Structure 1
Amino acid sequence: MLDDRDRKLLSLLQQDAETSVAQLAEAVNLSPSACSRRITRLREEGYILRTTAEVDRRRMGLPTTMFVLLRTSEHTADWLERLRAVAADIPEIVEVHRLTGNFDYILKIVLPNVEYYDVIYKQLVHRIRLHDVSAYISMETLKSDAPLPTHHA
């Protein structure tokens, strides 16, 4: 069960995971050792899954974002496992979601340029059977990687 201090710690860590324990402790009115124990508990209980570094996509040569909607006529566990394997093998595919509605899956793909999408497209259709593929170029990111709200936990 989370209390208000836990929620505040999670909010602060989502904003900057490199914030010192001393600064976090001061923000939630705890001693550094008590704060450190709470962070350890939050990890052990699975609230904090991992700590990563956010890398600048433009500096890495990946300024283009595309969303690809997939429709399949196969809805088997085997087909889904093939899709998972294909997505895992293509590093430019950074997210995959199963959907309700007219399409079955949406892929978020980061690319060096629009033309490179053809490379990814060929890998997809070569390795997995698809009924329909529709790609959309993101013109502008309005909100991305926002911290999760903590008041629901």
Structure 2
Amino acid sequence: MDRTDKKILRLLQEDATLPVADIARKVGLSTTPCWRRIQKMEEDKVIERRVAILNPEKVNVGVTVFVSIKTDSHNAEWLRRFSEVIVKMPEVIGFYRMSGQVDYLLKIVVPDIAAYDAFYQKLVLEIDIEDVSSAFAMERIKDTLELPLEYMSIDKNAKS
């Protein structure tokens, strides 16, 4: 990975629909070498996939809820079952195992509080949980999938 790869990644994070010719021009390459670099980053899983980012309000899931979960079950079977249940719930857009006071944190999107309540009822019916607490986001100030590239290792010996 060199500085040119980093520039390509920055451009793709901003707009994954940019034509390769435009990316190439912006980073100072011809189209074929630029395309090869993108292909290599896809093969190496630096670029996992390209997606369209939807407006939550336009698809009627404008309410974001952070759900903290505590459990007193830490065995492999419970975790397998819990993960299986959560992964199948389309409202869950983030699922994390945490350190500290909370065992798991979910980020979910729903149209309204009634939909959240239905989600909650289904969750506690499907899996044994010690405690569930929820925090509703009042305003989305920053919500991005763009990763900071400042920490990316650059091969200083590679030709850019």
TM-score, length of structure 1 as denominator length: 0.96
Shift of 1:152: 2.1
Deviation track 1:72-123 (CA, whole Å, cap 9, x = no partner) reads 0011222111121111221011111111111101111101101211111111
1:1-153 → structure 2 map (5 Å cutoff): 2-153=1-152
Aligned partners of 2:68 and 2:135: how far apart in 1? 8
Aligned partners of 2:143 and 2:59: how far apart in 1? 17
TM-score, length of structure 2 as denominator length: 0.92
The 3-state SS of whatever aligns with 2:68 is strand
Query: What amino acid maps onto 2:68 in structure 1?
Result: L
Q: State, as a whole percentage, how many aligned pairs show the same letter.
A: 38
Unaligned 5+ segments in structure 2 are 153-160
Kindly report structure 1 stretches of 4+ aligned residues shifted beyond 3 Å: none
In the alignment of these two chains, the number of paired residues is: 152
146 and 88 in structure 1: CA distance in 2 versus 1, 3 angstrom threshold: closer
Aligned-residue RMSD, C-alpha:
1.0
Deviation track 1:38-92 (CA, whole Å, cap 9, x = no partner) reads 0000101110001111111111111101111000001122211112111122101
Query: What amino acid maps onto 1:4 in structure 2?
Result: R
Shift of 1:146: 4.2
Unaligned 5+ segments in structure 1 are none
Aligned partners of 1:124 and 1:130: how far apart in 2? 9
Query: What amino acid maps onto 1:61 in structure 2?
Result: N
Whether the 8 Å CA contact 1:7–1:151 is kept in 2: the answer is no
Aligned partners of 1:78 and 1:144: how far apart in 2? 34
Aligned partners of 2:132 and 2:145: how far apart in 1? 28
Query: What amino acid maps onto 1:67 in structure 2?
Result: F
